[in-house]
Amino acid sequence: MASPLERYAELKTAADATYAGWRTPQRPRIDVAIDTSSLANGARATRDAIEANISERNAVVDLGRVHGYGMQWLHPLVTITFPDGASVVYGPVRAEHAALIVDIATGAKPATSTLAIGTIAGERAGIPSLREHPFFALEPKTGRRLIHRLGFTDPENLDHYIATGGYHAAARMLDRHQSPAQVRQELIDSALGGRGGGNFPAGTKWNFLATAPGEEHYVICNADEGDPGAWVNRVIMEGDPHLLIEGLIIAAYATGSKGGFIYIRDEYPLAIARMEQAVRQAQEAGLLGEGVFGTEMNFELRVIRGAGAYVCGEETGLISSIQDSRGMPRVKPPFPAGAGVFMKPSNVNNVETYANAPMVIEHGAQWYLEYGTERMRGTRLFSFSGDIQRVGFMEIPFGVPLGGVIEACGGMLPGLQLKAIQSGGPLGSMLPAREVPNLSMENAPFSALDALMGGGGIVFLSDRICTIHMAEMFTQFVEEESCGRCTTCHGGNQRQTEIIRRTIAGEGRHEDRHNLALIDRTLQFSNCVHGQFSPKIVRNTLRFFSDEYERHSAGRTCDALECEGLIRFRITNQGDPRLAEAQDICPVAAITGTPGRRTLDEAACIRCGACTDVAPNAIVREAKPATPRLVALS
């Protein structure tokens, strides 16, 4: 019977041939980046237009797909790979550029074009290497580790994964009869920490499961990624789905698990589709199911579509949801290693945590330790968004300064100043720009400020944002997403939201600060972290944006002109033809009248701002004149 490495070699030989034909194709190939961010930026229309152009002209060009490279502000991205193996990335490529792209691919036009961003393989005179782009300045000099396949493989092709070294770590682990304990020790030595935000050592957690009683153990992947501004798990699942599967095979072997679940949030349809497809491919290739790589290891892996609730990201809520029960966190202990899915011992890790395991097993703990800091080892994927010039994701070593990140992202959009950074999602934090010099990309400096770095997403907020308005958005979200099990959480969050909402409505009260602090203290008694962390953003706002809070509450002004109760809209130019459009778009018909005689009814207006968006020269958004306040008679 063939050993796992012999089986792997067979798969690899076939995969190498397929991949070589793809890397250095006989005919030029145009790969459109197909991932959620690209699709949201019109990649489907770009692809359709290129396809139509190729067929109209009968061009000798193939069409393929890759995952984007991280430069999401330049989406839709397109890569042309020429028969000599050179690959050039172009963007943003819109449908109207289809003919140009096909011309470049066929050689009718030079590869240099204003749309050319850089080469990712080979050379083309006049086009720099993509790695020289300042956006990648903070990535490891020796190249990407976790996401090295992005842009270089078709994520839907198992052969591409295998040809680029995929599944070798799992095959070798099984072939060498490396014991589960040795695998866990390698993980412990690598100091790989949980990427869900807590940085809990993955190897130690795997030990809990491995040593738990009973035969029926499960590994569970938390892919519920719900924080706004965080999409790093999605990148892994859409860009390199087999990496996650290989990580789960390693975890299953190390913990003696025969079953596994990948719980993916409902809002990630492409990630779900790609993961389901990859699981099928792995099953057909004998890498999952009965007899993994021809060994005695059995491992059934299932993809579960999430229930669409934020709190299902909390591990016990997630377990409950997998069982088809309502997604409600429960009190811990028992922890999942004691009583997990179907009350059986289970291990829950984040997508990126599992996805790091093949690297650790392939290259060893020492290799893994090369990057990062004393407290947080390795590299991690971050997504950066907000009012910055370059929105996208990058893989950076822990510990790089946040100031360097802002530089790599090209700084703020023209005319805007950085005001705050939001990290860790709705249970996370909001820190002012003045703290940026004190922050590096690891948990400790954030914790020192009572903040959270979180699960990989950082949003840069400019001075056009009102932090109290932002806090209201988060408090409302956390209130709605409270599972309702404990009164402390759902009642406390209702009260917190009421106060913040009243503040932005221009009705802040002197006693609000005191009451918010009281609610904060009470919420610490919630059953789970959802309730316990829910007052964090408000607490940050009161501490770091105290002046702004006071101006809302006592001064009745919102400097950013965002808070509904403190602003109004006024028609200033009756002659502007766009007023008609503004009148049409108003969802509550607050603008009435005929050309030259239009009026805006302040009482009916809901301050959505749609009118001034379409007619910026005719309608102003301004501070509402102060109304006299009742003063107690002495």
Residues that bind ligand FMN (CB under 6 A): 194-196, 198, 200, 222, 224-226, 310-311, 313-315, 348-350, 353, 455, 528-530
Nearest distance in Å: CB 197, ligand FMN: 6
Shortest CA distance to 68 belongs to which of 98, 40, 35? Answer: 35
Q: Give 228 or 286: the residue with its C-beta nearer to ligand FMN.
A: 228
Query: Of 37 and 349, which CB lies nearer to ligand FMN in the complex structure?
Result: 349
- Closer of 41 and 349 to ligand FMN (Cβ): 349
Q: Quick check: 624 and 555 in contact, CB under 8 A?
A: no
CB nearer to ligand FMN: pick between 190 and 222 = 222
Residue type, 385: S
- Could you tell me the smallest distance in angstroms from the CB atom of residue 394 to ligand FMN? 20
- Closest to ligand FMN by CB, 139 vs 224, is 224
Shortest approach of ligand FMN to residue 94 CB, angstroms?
A: 33
Which residue's CB is nearer to ligand FMN, number 275 or number 566? 275
Give every CB contact of residue 4 below 8 A, 6+ residues apart in sequence.
171, 172, 174, 175, 293, 294, 295
DSSP state of 505: T
Q: How far is the CB of 630 from ligand FMN (least distance, A)?
A: 41
Cβ atoms within 10 Å of 398's Cβ, excluding its own: 21
Q: Which of 414, 432, 435, 413 is nearest to 422 (CA)?
A: 432
Least spacing, CB of residue 186 vs ligand FMN, in Å: 17
Judged by beta carbon, residue 127 or residue 478, the one nearer ligand FMN is 478
Nearer to ligand FMN, 378 or 432 (CB): 378
- To ligand FMN, the closest distance from the beta carbon of 213 in angstroms equals 22
Residue-wise burial string across 135-170, b where 16 or more C-beta atoms lie within 10 A, e elsewhere: bbbbbbeeebbbbbbbbbbbbbbbbbbbbbebbbbb
Report the distance separating Cα 634 and Cα 632, nearest Å.
6
CB of 352 to ligand FMN, least distance (A): 7
- Amino acid type, 621: R
Phi, psi dihedrals of residue 37, rounded to the nearest 5°: -65, -40
- Burial (CB < 10 A; 0-12, 13-18, 19+), residue 369, is middle
Nearer to ligand FMN, 36 or 553 (CB): 36
Q: Least distance to ligand FMN from the beta carbon of 141, Å?
A: 27
Q: Which is nearer to ligand FMN, 92 or 336 (CB)?
A: 336
Q: Considering beta carbons, is residue 51 or 520 the nearer one to ligand FMN?
A: 520
Q: Give the phi and the psi of residue 552 in degrees, each rounded to 5.
A: -75, -50
Q: 317 and 327 in contact (C-beta within 8 Å)?
A: yes
Structural contact between residues 298 and 320, judged by C-beta atoms closer than 8 angstroms:
no
Pairing assessment for the beta strands 300-305 and 259-264 based on DSSP bridges: parallel
The answer to whether the CB of 322 falls within 8 A of the CB of 329 is no
| Structure token digits, residue 46 | 């770009």
Q: What is the dihedral of CA 233, 237, 240, 245, to 10 degrees?
A: 100
d(CA 613, CA 539): 33
Cα–Cα separations (whole angstroms), residue 270 to 63, 79, 156: 20, 21, 11
Beta-carbon count within 10 A of 346 CB: 28
Beta bridge partners of 289: 299
Bridge partners of 383, per DSSP, are 393, 457
Nearer to ligand FMN, 70 or 306 (CB): 306
Q: Give me the least distance between CB of 459 and ligand FMN, in Å please.
A: 16
| Single-letter amino acid code for the residue at 65 | R
Distance from CA of residue 313 to its chain's centroid?
14
Task: Give the separation between CA 302 and CA 367, rounded to whole angstroms.
Answer: 32
Closest CB to ligand FMN among 240 and 315? 315
Q: Taking the complex as a whole, how short is the minimal distance between the CB of residue 171 and ligand FMN, in angstroms?
A: 24
Nearer to ligand FMN, 506 or 531 (CB): 531
The minimum distance between CB 443 and ligand FMN, in angstroms, equals: 11
CB of 226 to ligand FMN, least distance (A): 5
- Rounded to a whole number of angstroms, the minimum distance from the CB of residue 534 to ligand FMN is 9
Kindly compute the dihedral angle of the four CA atoms of residues 18, 24, 29, 30, in this order, to the nearest 10 degrees.
100
Contact 347, 336 (CB under 8 A): yes
CB 569 within 8 A of CB 621: yes
Closest separation in Å from C-beta 377 to ligand FMN:
14
